[in-house]
Amino acid sequence: MGTDHNQLYHKKLHRKKSGMAAVGVALSLGMIVSACGSGSELKGSSAPNSSEPGKDNKALELKIVSSLYNEVPKLDNAIWSEIQKRTNTKFTVDWVPAPEYNSKLDLFLASNELPDILVVTSEKYLPVVNAAKQGVFWDLTPLLGDYKDYPNLKKIIPERAKFLTIDGKLYTLPRTRGKLDTIVQIRKDWLDKVGLPLPTTIDEFNVALKKIVESDPDGNGKKDTIGMQFNDYFAGAFGIWDPVNNSEGGLIHPFLTGNYNDFVAWNRERYADGVMPKEFSVMKGAQIQDLFTSGVSATHIWNIYHAWTATDAIKKVQPAANVDSILLKGPKGYAVAHTKMTTGGIMIPKKVPEAKVKQILKFYDSMATAEMTDLVSYGVDGVHYKTDNGERKLTDIGKKEINVDVNQFMVLAEDKWLKVVHPQAPKAWNDAKKAQMEKYEVEKVGKVRLEEVLLSDTWLKIWPKYLDEWTAIRTKTIIGETSLADYKAYVEKLNNMPDFKKAYKEFADNYKTMMQ
């Protein structure tokens, strides 16, 4: 590729003025939470909901640990004040920058100094699973019961519960998401420049990336454009989210299947084409995102609505920028993933008294309504947005306060467009994006990422021992230092180990129970 993209990134990062560089470009972009597809128009502030979480009308005080993507918000600002007013709550939040979150979570779990509400970015994260099994968190199953006291949660939890349970127990409330979330984003203006349409297949994608990279699309006279980054998301086109069993009936981990071997081979070809950066294996999420939004990369895996965010950001350095979403069909599927309709979840430590747990559940039941979801997505009429010809437009206050952090520890109402439409985008853009995604949904091309839902005690114990080694061999295979034959032989060796076979049997049992 010729250019050291790590140096390029760090030069750009050094120029950023944000006080929270650890969060990366998310801060400078002000990542915006997507809007509710439909909801009640909210006229100014209103009284708290009739279902009061607090006792004797006293505000329910909640200590919370949550992830953060932007600057630390002031909980007495307009949006947070309104949420607390309507739910009769008072929040004290320990905000942890997203890139550091699991490290901080480990410290919380080890110290047992836990809050009333703890966000987990993955309910299958090993320390979280172990803590749940050791009784650190409330099993919410008996408390929720038949949901007669929580009618709004009843609309949200049951469909997601199979993905959230550990040993048949529900320790986690969902952070509500629609099925549609992330997708492959591509520079359409660069495709136009080289005379190619949006690719619809992996083969067309291969051709497009090579042509873009070789054409110097930014016109700086250097061969420094990145076509794509390594991302397991593309593996959906090679069938890795389909269950694959071994001869003993065990369910092989998706990353150790023949389908994943094909995906590694495909990356090897893309690396040889020169469309991947040489240092791809050490690049991190914020760095990868920054290279896209600064006009260096042609593609990025991002939330659907960020086609608008990215276009807006790149226009600052390349005014003709235009980002669009693509669906790529491969030999065994599509490179598009559906969510589990939740991203991680919300857990309540067992140290919280049962009476307060019930109040917390009441709080979340009051949040899981169309009205509160609309509030989280748009804010207050006249404060965070103004309506012009039937179209809501965010004010300067809205652009500052209505962002992804507002829903980090919330259970929201069902909304299929939650990660599709953008509150700052014009209605015409949002309508077009919904129509584009509706087509994908109707065709039922998306699948839940299998590696995110399988659970095995044995796997959680053995995989950390081999993860670094496997990752290193995979990287060497992609860059050509190890042959594909040797990589496949290594994978086969792992798959034949007794502990791996035991884990695969547990995966099979878990999958059968989960999908019943």
Question: Does residue 25 register a pLDDT over 80?
Answer: no
Count Cβ neighbours within 10 Å for each residue of 163-180 and write b for 16 or more, e otherwise. bbbbeebbbbbbbbbbbb
Asked if residue 37 has pLDDT above 80, the reply is no
- Tokens at residue 130, please? 């172990």
Q: Residue 281 has which token pair?
A: 């294996």
Neighbouring-strand partners of residue 224: none
Segment 464-482 mean pLDDT: 97
For the cut 90, the answer to whether the pLDDT of residue 5 exceeds it is no
pLDDT of residue 52: 62
Q: Is the pLDDT of residue 373 over 50?
A: yes
**Which CATH number is correct for 55-179+341-423, 1.10.1200.10, 3.90.1150.10, 3.40.190.10, 3.40.50.2000?**
3.40.190.10
Cβ neighbours for 431, distance < 8 A, ≥ 6 positions apart: none
3-state secondary structure of 427: helix
Task: Work out whether the CA dihedral 466, 494, 480, 452 comes out positive or negative.
Answer: negative
Q: Mean per-residue pLDDT for 385-393?
A: 90
Q: Is residue 19's pLDDT more than 50?
A: no
Helix and strand counts by DSSP (H, E) for the chain: 20, 14
Does position 38 have pLDDT exceeding 90, yes or no? no
**Residue among 343, 366, 324, 392 nearest 35 (CA):** 392
d(CA 11, CA 238): 36
> Is residue 17 pLDDT above 70, yes or no?
no
pLDDT higher than 90, residue 49:
no
Specify the pTM: 0.82
Give per-residue pLDDT as tens, 292-303.
999 999 999 999
Q: What's residue 35's pLDDT? A: 31
**Side chain identity at residue 503, one-letter code:** A
8 Å CB contact between 359 and 143: no
Write down the CATH number for the domain with range 5-30+182-230+276-338: 3.40.190.10
Total residue count of the chain as it appears in this document: 516
What's the CA gap between 397 and 11, in Å, rounded? 31
Q: Which amino acid is it at 271?
A: Y
Q: Minimum mean pLDDT among 5-19, 182-196, 264-278: which range?
A: 5-19
Residue 411 has pLDDT above 60, yes or no: yes
What is the structure's pLDDT at 442?
62
pLDDT at 501 over 70: yes
Per-residue pLDDT, averaged over 5-20, amounts to 40
CATH 3.40.190.10 positions along the chain are: 5-30+182-230+276-338, 55-179+341-423
Question: Across residues 390-414, what is the average pLDDT?
Answer: 93
> CA–CA separation, 262 vs 481, rounded Å?
17
pLDDT band (50, 70, 90) for residue 75: very high
Give me the pLDDT at residue 54, please: 66
The backbone torsions φ and ψ at residue 507, rounded to the nearest 5 degrees and listed phi first, read -60, -45
Percent of the chain with pLDDT over 70: 88
Give mean pLDDT, residues 234-260: 97
Q: Evaluate whether 425 touches 312 at the Cβ level (below 8 Å).
A: no
Closest listed residue to residue 169, CA positions, set 160, 177, 161: 161
Query: In this structure, are strands 333-334 and 323-326 parallel, antiparallel, or unpaired?
Result: unpaired
Cβ contact 150:358 at 8 Å = no
Indicate the pLDDT class of residue 55, thresholds 50, 70 and 90: low
**According to DSSP H, which parts of 368-451 are helical?**
370-378, 396-401, 427-442
HSE-CB at 70 with a 13 A cutoff on CA atoms is 18
Query: What is the average pLDDT across 30-46?
Result: 33
Q: Could you count the other beta carbons within 10 Å of the beta carbon of residue 491?
A: 21
Closest CA to 34 of 424, 419, 323: 419
